[in-house]
Amino acid sequence: MLNERSLAITQDCESCPIRHRAVCARCESDELLRLEEIKYYRKFEAGQTVIWSGDRMDFVGSVVSGIATLTQTMEDGRTQMVGLLLPSDFVGRPGRSSAAYDVVATTDLVMCCFRKAPFEDMMKRTPHIAQRLLEMTLDELDAAREWMLVLGRKTAREKIASLLSIIARRDSSVNMRQVTDQLTFDLPLTREAMADYLGLTLETVSRQISALRKDGVIVLDGKRHVTVPDMGRLLEEAGDDADGGLFD
């Protein structure tokens, strides 16, 4: 399904002409074809590190399938996840040659990569690409700032509810049943990874998830499979407006 908001398209990455039209949806030039010549795929297993912070990074790319995380770590080992990369998310930074964060595959992961120099050349020749990247980066900036509110001001329970809301909204595994207003999905993160995203300990994550289960906000089937009987309730628990445009 072609998603106007994404730079690359999830499932049909093999049909690249379509996907690359998304890079530059308003542009019909043959630049689209040239992208074909400089792209390649990379596959990673769950747990593998895609790139270490500070390493030379000579590609940019986007997630085709699977989930990766961006994390920062202090010398003493405290780590904070600063981004969650879901299919169609873009990685890398034109104009910078080394990675700013650790990028780790949390599930099996396929990325569609472009060598950086040719990608930058093409960006110069194809103005819409820079504009598309600008839009996407602004969206990411908004998401990062929303997360700052979560990290700085929300309680542990609200943090968990916020994370579940985000995954419910964005994870492609989400299965929505329109009639009952129920959502089901698998948590793509361990308790520890959730803790790193939320600025909590894994024990607190575990306790709060148990509490939300006990209170009927979520239903757990095993440790990872989540059903949300009432999305409005979950959003209330997250401290957001209950009507806050879920699937806009």
Taking the least distance from each CB to a second copy, the nearer of 141 and 211 is 141
Q: Could you say which of 48, 79, 107, 201 contacts DNA (CB under 7 A)?
A: 201
- Cβ density class 81-98: b for 16+ within 10 Å, e for less: bbbbbbbbbbbbeeeeee
> Which residue spans within 116-241 are E strands per DSSP?
175-177, 182-186, 219-221, 225-228
- Asked whether position 79 contacts DNA by CB under 7 A, the answer is no
* Least Å from the CB of residue 191 to a second copy: 16
Which residues, other chains included, contact 151 with Cβ-Cβ below 8 Å and sequence gap of 6+?
159, 198, 199
The option from DNA, a second copy, none interacting with 134 (CB < 5 to 8 A, set by class) reads: a second copy
* Dihedral angle sign, alpha carbons of residues 38, 39, 45, 46: positive
Q: By three-state DSSP, how is residue 97 classified?
A: coil
Taking the least distance from each CB to a second copy, the nearer of 72 and 206 is 72
Residues 112-131 that bind a second copy (CB under 8 A): 123-124, 127, 130-131
Taking the least distance from each CB to a second copy, the nearer of 7 and 183 is 7
Please tell me the count of residues contacting DNA according to CB under 7 A: 21
Q: Could you say which of 210, 215, 216, 244 contacts DNA (CB under 7 A)?
A: 210
* Least Å from the CB of residue 134 to a second copy: 5
To the nearest 10°, report the CA torsion of 221, 227, 230, 234: 90
Question: What residues line the site for a second copy (CB under 8 A)?
Answer: 70, 72, 74-76, 78-80, 82-83, 93-96, 100-101, 123-124, 127, 130-131, 133-135, 137-138, 140-142, 144-149, 151-154, 198-199, 239, 241
